[in-house]
Amino acid sequence: MSEPLITIGSDSRAVAAARLMVAKRVDAIPVVREESVVGVISKTDIVKRMVESGGCLFGLINDGS
């Protein structure tokens, strides 16, 4: 049996995508806007963005968003 597709809205924060990926045990999630896929975000995208911004992974995950 297949499960419903896991997606995230284009207006969602990266931390929400990270939490969803961890909870659903997936490596990437399609990004949707008005029922259309507009991209894909992966764990690698999130880590790359964090490193480029000089951020801390723990701060990203625990920022309360």
Tokens of 53: 């911004």
pTM: 0.74
Q: Name the amino acid, one letter, at 60.
A: L
* Whole-number pLDDT of residue 32: 97
The proportion of the chain whose per-residue pLDDT surpasses 70, expressed as a percent, equals 80
Q: Write the DSSP symbol of residue 55.
A: -
- C-alpha to C-alpha distances, 19 to 9, 33, 34, 60, 64, nearest whole angstrom: 14, 19, 22, 10, 11
Residues spanned by the domain of 56: 8-61
Residues 25-51 have a mean pLDDT of: 93
CATH code of 35's domain: 3.10.580.10
Q: What are phi and psi of 50, to 5 degrees?
A: -65, -45
Which residues are bridge partners to 61 per DSSP? none
Q: Is residue 3 part of a domain?
A: no
In a domain, 44, yes or no: yes
